[in-house]
Amino acid sequence: MADLTTVAGRLMEQRGMSLRALAKAVHHDPSYLSKALRGIKPCGPALARAIDDALDADGQVIEAAAQPRPALAAQEAPVAPELVGYFRDQLAGHYTADMYLGPRHLIPTVQTQADLITQLAATADAPVRQGLLDTGAAYAALLGWLYQDAGDLTASARWRDVTLSLAHRSGDPQLISYALTNKAMLALDQGDGRAVIDYARAAQAGDRGLSPKARVLALQHEAHGHAILGNRRAADRLLDSAETLTSQVDDEHLWGNACRRTPHYVSVQRATCYGRTGRPQDARDAAGLWDQILGGMPGSARRDNAVFQARQAAALAVVPDPERAVAVAAEAASAVNATGSARLRREIKVIPARASAWAHTRPGRELRAIVASVA
């Protein structure tokens, strides 16, 4: 079969797609993509799949990328153990940046690094490979989240699958559990409560000697699944169990640390669950919880604060408290352009559905204008 350079070049010509357009479609820097297609830089499985999808190549790019490439093979050398620490340090920075910047600015950088980690793991000796697989799974999980936050659920699903695959190769039960809760998180955005519960329960299967953090994440996702199905009692029971564990979260894994980084973490989950049930009393309880939560959140968590404000506005719309719902929604909307978060935009766009009782009032018209501004 022809090499990657030939296959990609032919398909780009047939599709009338420039290198810059292809780079934009796969969320990579054009310079890096050019080198990957020419065999100078790695073209890992995830990047190959993204190119294949963008070019509608029916697997041709994936097959070509999987062939041995002499240009890279000649450069192969033992992978330095220090690279594992380097990528871990970079990942910690990416998590911090995500809280403030959102997905738009991070996806190209994180995806390039994830592809490189996968390429290095293919040639590394066993001890270093283990570290790269662990770190690669965490990068894939972050990418799954970034794409989900950006509203690209197809790409998110692809990276959720990569996360689970790398976690299984690693053999770390904590990481496997985390990968399954990532699948639950995606199902949550897809509105499939039963799938959320199934993945969350699978993440707890046999307990596997799970760390407190892995158990907290699984319990909270199961709670959200029950909330979607309207079962507040089950959600509360699960969140009560999670709350007893949060103070014990002390592992060194970089992933999943929102549960020890976010103030009022379980209250955030509880308020969100109450807002999902669709019942007015639960909405009132959610609005009260959001008042407590938002008063203690750091300003650096701009995207998350805005998401929480949008959820509070939705609860206030049901209460109803029209004036306050509009004011909170306006504040949330101000962060949409800065963060590029499709999740935030989606949270804002559902508010009018909760405000049907006062849709034709002055606040109702103001709310529609706010939503239109972020559509």
Segment 245-265 shows an average pLDDT of 85
Query: Distance (Å, rounded) from C-alpha 185 to C-alpha 200?
Result: 9
Segment 248-261 shows an average pLDDT of 84
Contact criterion met (CB below 8 Å) for 193 and 229: yes
Hey, CA dihedral for 296, 319, 325, 148, is it positive or negative? positive
Residue where a domain stops, chosen among 210, 228, 261: 261
Query: Distance (Å, rounded) from C-alpha 51 to C-alpha 8?
Result: 8
> What does the pLDDT read at residue 365?
96
Contact criterion met (CB below 8 Å) for 312 and 287: yes
Query: Distance (Å, rounded) from C-alpha 45 to C-alpha 256?
Result: 24
pLDDT digits (tens, 9 = 90+) for 314-361: 999 999 999 999 999 999 998 887 777 888 999 999 999 999 999 999
Whether residue 2 is predicted with pLDDT greater than 70 in this model: the reply is no
> What does the pLDDT read at residue 236?
97
The 8-class DSSP code of residue 358 comes to G
Query: Distance (Å, rounded) from C-alpha 256 to C-alpha 214?
Result: 8
Whether residue 187 is predicted with pLDDT greater than 70 in this model: the reply is yes
Min mean pLDDT across 63-67, 83-87, 341-345 is at: 63-67
Query: Distance (Å, rounded) from C-alpha 104 to C-alpha 97?
Result: 11
What CATH number is attached to the domain comprising 35? 1.10.260.40
Contact criterion met (CB below 8 Å) for 142 and 110: yes
> What does the pLDDT read at residue 338?
77
pLDDT band at 74 (very low <50, low <70, confident <90, very high): very low
Residue where a domain stops, chosen among 17, 41, 73: 73
93 domain-assigned: no
- Tally DSSP H helices, then E strands, for the chain: 23, 0
Percentage of the chain beyond pLDDT 90 is 56
Q: Provide the residue range defining the domain that includes 54.
A: 4-73
Residue where a domain stops, chosen among 38, 57, 73: 73
CA distances from 289 to 252, 255, 262 (A): 30, 26, 15
27 domain-assigned: yes
253 domain-assigned: yes
Say how many C-beta atoms besides its own lie within 10 A of residue 300's C-beta.
10
Query: Distance (Å, rounded) from C-alpha 214 to C-alpha 250?
Result: 11
Reported pTM: 0.77
pLDDT digits (tens, 9 = 90+) for 281-297: 999 999 999 999 988 77
| Structural domains in the chain (count) | 2
245 domain-assigned: yes
